[in-house]
Amino acid sequence: MTVLPITIWGEPVLHRRAAEVEVFDDDLRTLIADMFETNDKANGVGLAAPQVGVGRRLFVYKFENDDGAPPSGVIINPVLTLSKISGALPDPDEEEEGCLSFPGGQFPLKRAEWARVQGFDGDGNPVDFEATDWFARVIQHEYDHLDGKLYVNRLIDRYARKATKLAKKSGWGVPGLTWMPGVDPDPFGH
């Protein structure tokens, strides 16, 4: 298994819809194994293929949950069904998200509290489970990457302005920027 560099906000693959996975082969299984290794080394709870420069519709997750879903897995070509998202302002103490592709930034975001996840595993077998609370948030966050969105694209104005300032100060927003888990300092201080 190989640890892959993680792309940073501004890399084109992060900002466009990923293509469906059509072939379930050894190359795909190698990518999945590398993504798990990268996610572990980055202390992540999830990692989508565009975050490692691959424009395909798959993500891995590692999150203990009370929903009866495996604590780690891969979802290929996912389809999500969500509960309604509250119109209330996000709670800055309880609903703060971060992203490995927006390293070090953490901002509050309102998400659906329930998600049904359907898709396939690395061998093409169907996957179907429900996720609630923070697990649902993780699933939605990774799914957004497959549609070319980062969580910062969903922030309310005051947090969006702060995210924009952080990106500008960090020099992001241009192609070619990455960080390497296990080599570069952990942007979240794990």
Residue 176 is encoded by which pair of tokens? 């070619």
Is 15 labelled as part of a ligand binding site?
no
To the question of whether residue 99 is assigned a binding role by annotation, the answer is yes
Which of 11, 37, 97, 142 is catalytic? The answer is 142
Look up 37 and say whether it is catalytic. Answer: no
Residue 4 marked ligand-binding: no
Residue pair 116/136 in contact by the 8 Å Cβ criterion: no
Longest pairwise C-alpha distance within the chain: 45
Ramachandran bin of 100, using left for φ above 0, alpha for ψ from -120 to 50, beta for the remaining angles = alpha
Residues marked active site are found at: 142
- Residues within the annotated binding site for Fe cation? 99, 141, 145
Binding site feature residues: 99, 141, 145
